[in-house]
Structure 1
Amino acid sequence: MTLSPNHAPGSRRLPSRPGTVLAGLCIVLFLLPLFLAALPPLAASASEFSFLKGLFVREVKGYGMYTEEQSSRFEKGSRISVYLEIDGFQNLKKDNAYEVHLSLDLLVKDDKGNVGIEQKDVVTSDLIVKSPWRDFFFTVNIDLAELPPGKYTLGFVATDRSNDKKASHDMDIEIY
């Protein structure tokens, strides 16, 4: 018994018609965009409202474009910058646009977890955009002049003011 490379025992051999296969593929590729356009739009973000990352940075040029600090240790009196990405916030549909309403609070906790400084609405953002906004980041500049040397935790609480959901993110820092 001899088998051809395209025919396994017990299988049926399909007629070889490359033109038919190519025509079928072209029809699928032509109809796929039409099918996808008929589907309802996806939610702006299907994930839970949360922080994706929080980093100490030297500079920020945009979403995902930053130069990260090498350490979380800073000299007393220095100014630091923190880059925070969030996800899962709500895009409110209004007329032909979408609204995004976010704010950020800052808490500074000592090494025992006690809150020493609390600042509400350090950053607030109210955006009106043409399509659902998906990528969002906060940049926070903090002056360390008031804090004595020691270990602290910076606590950030983001609020989606469209639905009052909250997300939190803590970052350890040492001042020397």
Structure 2
Amino acid sequence: MHGPASPGWLLVALCAATGAYCLLRMRSTVEEQRRSAGGEALMGFGMAAMAVPAAAFTPPAWAWPAYAVVFGAAALRALWSARTSAHHLHHLMGAAAMVYMAAVMAAAPAAHHHAHGASGVPLVTGALLLYFVGYVLLTGTRLVPAGPAPTGAALASGSLRGAGPGWGDRPELAQACRLSMGMAMVAMLLGL
């Protein structure tokens, strides 16, 4: 619409909506679901705050080190939780990517929107891009239904009502949430 700020605001909206949904998922009766949703909510809101276009708000100099500390703590928590669940390794990668982006922004706050020059994409940025692109592709394939979709008659008869988990415990919604945050991470890394 009005230049490069529009994609930034769309990214902010996507990440904030994902974070809000993850907060609602924290009401789940399944403990692992609640723990995972908490980390994902932090990631969604943190990404939303980091994606605010610089034309609208330039964070103070202390904000980037604060991001690094918060997401560094989240990375340590994810590392500790990875002992019991492999999914927390993805949380570790997400938190590490946020620490990396905060460090890059703190090192060059005015130059982060300029071209990379002749040096190309930095190695860490490239590695994180490869990981998150792979994650997005894998997560996207997991959302493809394995069987036929319910027919209109089954939906109309109500035979599917009451079956399965509540809307906050639906694994496909959690996967869609993770997919949207993965795509947002790719967009943020490309903009770095």
Place the TM-score, normalised by the shorter chain, in its bin.
under 0.3
Structure with greater proportional helix content:
2
Question: Which one scores higher on RCO, CA 8 angstroms, separation ≥ 6?
Answer: 2
- The TM-score normalised by the length of structure 2 is 0.17
- The TM-score normalised by the length of structure 1 is 0.18
Structure with greater proportional strand content:
1
